[in-house]
Amino acid sequence: MFAILASFTVASVPLEQVVQRVDGSVVTVRVAEKRTSESAGGKSVSITTGTGSGVMVHPDGWIVTAAHVVDDADLIEVEFTDAPTSVAQIVTLSRTEDLALLKAETPPKKPVVAALGDSELLKPGMRLFAIGAPLGLTHTVTSGVVSALRTDTRKGPHPSRLLQTDVPINQGNSGGPLFNENGEVVGIASFIASRSGGSVGLNFAIPSSTVRARLFESPLPWIGVSVRFVSKEFAEVMNWPIDAGLLVEKVKAGGVAAKAGLHGGMIEAELGGTHVILGGDLVLKVNGLPTSDSKAIGKSLAALQPGDAITYEVLCAGSTKTIEVPLPKLPKVPTLTASKVARAP
């Protein structure tokens, strides 16, 4: 048995009861990453760990989180409220939209499943609440309102649509759900705007409409690559002769991208307060399209079928080369039911 989802009248249900109903659907995501770096003394290996959040949207262990929580991870574990911790694998991931879909190897026998709501119905002033693990404090509830719904038209791979909220979000909340008063997931916590590093009321999430479209309606198999967008200004600092590019920071060992010949970096650096890994391939074009045109690239990738290849034009050691990465078969992603409200078993 899994949680039965049913609608109810919000006005007659206190918010604390809604929180109680959906809390079991929220998971804590713990990751571990092995880093190899080079220095004058040779190579060194270190293990770093991190914590984020996620939400289970299907009883078979399908979990939505933020891409930046898991895309560099060598090991992913998800902690449930009333079930043993399970190892999880990335099924599909989009750094552009900062979304990832995980599959827990051992889902709970009695899972609580959250419903994916319709973010298109949101309006400024509507109440929201988040559940996550800020600074490792699991199942912390914070609340606020919809501040704005924004569209980002800048070039480059980044979320095009954003849900802005004053719901407090801090490190550890990333990837966790934002719920409306019905207990429906309407956003996935992504990032904050802050000079102090803590929440100042300018917090941003990926709308549930993007979650549904990217992870469930048009999913793409993950090829095991972590990239960072390189702007013209960044390239000038690095003395790279490009207008824009995608810096390959990490390639998963044994993955299809690694087998095809894409290389990640090994030199860790801080540039403008941002941690980067240098030394990897620099992607100039994807399927013949410039990396600055993320929308066109997205459409091109969405049209591919398993067995087709993604063609990368990369700059490596001062010369360009073409690398073709075959698209692996994608596990069958479930079709989510219509939006309803999660209830505990």
CATH T-level assignment (fold) for domain 22-104: Thrombin, subunit H (2.40.10)
Mean pLDDT of 286-307: 84
85-106, pLDDT tens digit by residue? 999 999 999 888 899 999 999 9
User: What one-character DSSP code corresponds to residue 5?
Assistant: B
Scored b (16 or more CB within 10 A) or e, 276-304 reads: bbebbbbbbbbbebbbbbbeebbebbeee
Q: What is the DSSP string of 225-266?
A: EEEEEE-HHHHHHHT-S-S-EEEEEEE-TTSHHHHHT-----
Highest mean pLDDT of the ranges 200-209, 267-276, 300-309: 200-209
Give the Cα separation of 228 and 83 in Å (integer): 36
CATH architecture of 119-217: Beta Barrel (2.40)
Amino acid 115: pLDDT: 95
Whether 174 is catalytic is yes
174-225, pLDDT tens digit by residue? 999 999 999 999 999 999 888 777 778 899 999 999 999 999 988 888 888 8
Give the Cα separation of 214 and 208 in Å (integer): 10
Please report how many Cα atoms fall inside a 13 Å half-sphere around the Cα of residue 12, on the Cβ side: 3
Scored b (16 or more CB within 10 A) or e, 64-95 reads: bbbbbbbbbbeebbbbbeebeebebebbbbbb
147 and 166 in contact (C-beta within 8 Å)? yes
133-149, pLDDT tens digit by residue? 999 999 999 999 999 99
pLDDT at 341 over 60: no
pLDDT at 339 over 90: no
Q: List the single range of 18-32, 165-179, 314-328 with lowest mean pLDDT.
A: 314-328
Mean pLDDT of 234-241: 82
73 and 31 in contact (C-beta within 8 Å)? yes
Question: pLDDT exceeding 70 applies to what percent of the chain?
Answer: 89
- Which residues make up the CATH 2.30.42.10 domain(s) of the chain? 225-326
pLDDT at 46 over 80: no
Amino acid 8: pLDDT: 38
- Which residues make up the CATH 2.40.10.10 domain(s) of the chain? 22-104, 119-217
Mean pLDDT of 215-242: 84
Q: Which of 85, 75, 21, 17 is nearest to 50 (CA)?
A: 75
Rg (CA), the chain: 20
Q: Which residues pair with 250 in a beta bridge?
A: 226
Amino acid 222: pLDDT: 86
pLDDT band at 345 (very low <50, low <70, confident <90, very high): very low
Tell me how crowded residue 40 is: count the other CB atoms within 10 A of its CB: 4
Q: Are strands 75-79 and 26-39 parallel, antiparallel or unpaired?
A: antiparallel
Whether 98 is catalytic is yes
Choosing from 25, 53, 68, 339, the catalytic residue is 68
pTM score: 0.83
Choosing from 71, 72, 98, 281, the catalytic residue is 98
CATH of domain 225-326: 2.30.42.10
